[in-house]
A and B are shown apart, each in its own frame.
Chain A
Amino acid sequence: MSIIVDAGGLSCPQPVLMTLNKIKEIKKGEILIKVDTDTSKENVSRAAKSQGWKIADVQENEGGYQLTIKKE
C-alpha cells in the first residue's frame, strides 16, 4: 500500500511542496500523488525526478491525474 499525497484542487507550488515534504519524510518507497491539472502533473514529475525518484505510473481520471513515483 503506497503513501497517498492528495494535492487535488491545489495549485502550484502546493503539489510540489507536498510531494517534496513526503519524499524527505520517507526517503524511499512508493508515493501516489493526486493532482488535477497538467501543470501540476508536469511540476510534480520534474521535482520527483530531480530528487532521484522514478515516475512509475500516470493514470488519468475524471478529476485529473494520479501519479505513482518510486525510489528503491
Chain B
Amino acid sequence: MFKNFFATRWGIIGVGGLIGVLAALLQKLGNPGNMGICVACFERDIAGAIGIHRAAVVQYMRPEIIGFVLGSLVAAYIFKEFRPRTGSAPIVRFVLGVFAMIGSLVFLGCPWRAMLRLAAGDGNAIFALLGLIGGIWIGTLFLKGGYNLGRVQKTYVSAGWLLPLTMLGFLILMLIFPHIEGQGKSGVLFYSLKGPGAMHAHLFISLAVGLAIGFIAQRSRFCTMGAFRDLILFRQVHLLSGVIALVVTAFIVNMIVGQFHPGFARQPVAHTMQIWNFGGMVLSGLAFSLAGGCPGRQLFLAGEGDGDAAVFVLGMIVGAGFAHNFGLASSPKGVGPHGIAAVIIGLTVCLFIGFTMRKRVS
C-alpha cells in the first residue's frame, strides 16, 4: 500500500514549516503586513474584486485562494483522492461560513493570519488565539454531545468541479481584466488603489505559491482548527505540530528579512480592542469547528470534490459582503459600528446550530 509521506509526523511538520516560509516571503514580495496569507482576508478581497462589497481598500482577486483550490484539485487527481460528494447540511455550512468570516473580520484575520501575526510579534494575536481555542473548545463540547451535520452522498464528478471551475473563471477574469495603473476598475473587476487591497506580490508568484500550498495541504490535511480540536478532543498533537512549525518558520524568516516588530500598538492591519480580538475569534473558532475545518482546509476540501466545503467557502465570501456593507468589519481604529452586535448574533446562531443538530449516528 502506498504510504502518504505528507500524512506522517514529519510530513505535516514539513508542510507547516514550508507554509510559514512562503507566507513570510509573500509579505516581503508585496502582500500586506503580517498578511502573507490570510484565507479570510483574501476571500474578503475577492468579494471586493467582484463587487459584493465596495470597501475601496480591500478589492483584489487574490490568486493565492485560486491556487489553494486548484492545487488541491491537482493533488487529489494525481493521488486518486478526488471524491465528489455533497449533501451534508449545505445551508448550515453556508451560514457557518458567513459567521466565520464576520468573526474573522472583527479580529482582522483568520487562524492562519493569527499565527502569522504572532510570528511577526503582534501581541494582539495572543488574544485572538485564546479566542480561537475557546471557540474550538465549545465546538468540541457539541461534538462530544453528538453534534454532527449528517452523512454526505456521492455526487456527479462535475458537481465536485464547480468550485474549482469558479476559481478558474476568476483567474481568467483576472487575466482578461488586469489592473490598470491608477484605475479602480478594469472591465468587471474592482481593484484597490490604496490600502491592503493594493498590496500584493506578482500575480504569478502568488498563484504559484497558492498552487504549491494547495497541493501539499491536500496531501497532509493541514488544518489550523483541527490542530486545536484534535488536541482538546483526542490529546493528539499531529496537526498541531504542523501549525507550530508554521509559526516557527514564519518567525525565523521574519527575523531574517526584518519583519519582526514586537508590540501591541500600531501593528499592521490590526486593532488593540482585545475583548473583540478575543470575541471575534471565539465566533470564528466555533463556526470552523462546527463546520469541520479552518478556512484553508475548506478550500482544500472543495478542491478534492467536497461540495459542502465549497458551500462554506461561498458563505465566507458572502459573509465578507455583509461584514463590509453592514459596518461589521473592524479597522485599525477598532471594531466597526455594528461589529459587537454581529459577534453576539453570530454566537447565538452557532449555539442554536450546535444545540439543535445532534443525533447519535452509530
- The residues of A with any CB-CB pair to B shorter than 8 Å are 5-6, 8-14, 16-18, 20-22, 36-39, 42-43, 46-47, 50, 58, 63-64
Q: Report Cα–Cα, A66/B154, bound state, in Å.
A: 17
Q: Are A38 and B4 in contact (CB under 8 A)?
A: yes
Do residues B143 and A46 form an inter-chain contact, with CB atoms below 8 A? no
B238 contacts across to A, CB distance below 8 A = 46
Q: Is B158 an interface residue (CB 8 A)?
A: no
Q: Which one of A6, A12, A36, A47 contacts B226 once the chains associate, using CB atoms below 8 Å?
A: A12
When the two chains form their complex, are residues A9 and B1 in contact, meaning their CB atoms are under 8 A apart? no
When distances are taken between beta carbons in the complex, the residues of chain A under 8 Å from B7 are 42
Q: B221 near A42 (CB under 8 angstroms)? A: yes
The answer to whether A46 touches B236, judged by C-beta atoms less than 8 angstroms apart, is yes
Q: Is the CB of A13 within 8 A of B230?
A: yes
Is B143 a contact of A10 with CB atoms below 8 Å?
no
Shortest CB distance B311–A (Å): 13
Q: A17-B143, A22-B362 are in contact. Are A50 and B236 (CB under 8 A)?
A: yes
Given A12-B292, A17-B143, A58-B1, A39 and B361 touching (CB < 8 A)? no
Chain B count of residues within 8 A CB distance of the other chain: 28
- Report whether B153 and A9 are in contact in the complex, using a CB–CB cutoff of 8 Å: yes
Q: Is B83 a contact of A17 with CB atoms below 8 Å?
A: no
Nearest Cβ distance between residue A9 and chain B, in whole angstroms? Answer: 3
**Residue numbers in A under 8 Å from B229 (CB-CB):** 13
Apart from A10-B361, A42-B7, what are 8 other A-B pairs with CB-CB below 8 Å? A9-B88, A9-B153, A10-B151, A12-B226, A12-B292, A18-B361, A21-B362, A42-B4
Given contacts A17-B143, A37-B81, are A11 and B292 in contact (CB under 8 A)?
yes
Q: Does B18 contact A (CB under 8 A)?
A: no
**CA–CA, A17 to B236, complex, Å?**
13
- Give the complex CA separation of A63 and B151 in angstroms: 13
Q: A9-B88, A10-B148, A46-B238 are in contact. Are A39 and B221 (CB under 8 A)?
A: yes
What's the least CB distance linking B8 to chain A, in Å?
A: 10
Q: Is B244 an interface residue (CB 8 A)?
A: no
* Residues of chain B lying within 8 A (CB to CB) of residue A47: 234, 236
Interface pair B143/A13, CB less than 8 Å apart: yes
Within 8 A of A (CB), among B1-19: 1, 4, 7
Determine which of A18, A36, A46, A58 lies in contact with B83 in the assembled complex, contact meaning CB atoms within 8 Å.
Answer: A36
B7, B144, B229 interface centre (most CB from chain A within 10 Å): B7
A44 → chain B closest CB, angstroms: 11
Whole-angstrom distance between the alpha carbons of A29 and B261 in the complex?
56
Could you tell me the distance between the alpha carbons of A47 and B236 in the complex, rounded to whole angstroms? 8
Are B234 and A8 neighbours in the complex by a CB distance under 8 Å?
no
Q: Are A63 and B362 in contact (CB-based, < 8 A)?
A: no
Q: Which of A11, A21, A22 has the most CB of B within 10 A?
A: A11
B154 x A63 contact (CB < 8 A): yes
A13:B233 contact, CB within 8 angstroms: yes
Nearest B residue to A50, CB-CB: B236
B85 at the interface (CB under 8 A from A): yes
B152 at the interface (CB under 8 A from A): yes
A and B contact pairs by CB, cutoff 8 A, 10 listed: A5-B362, A9-B85, A11-B88, A11-B292, A12-B292, A22-B362, A37-B81, A38-B4, A46-B238, A64-B83
Chain A residues contacting B154 (CB-CB under 8 Å) are 63
Q: Across the interface, which residues of A come within 8 angstroms of B144, CB to CB?
A: 17
Given contacts A37-B81, A38-B81, A47-B234, contact A14 B361 (CB under 8 A): yes
Contacting A at CB under 8 A, from B23-55, are none
Complex: chain A residue closest to B147, CB-CB: A14
The CA-CA distance from A11 to B148 in the complex, in Å, is: 9
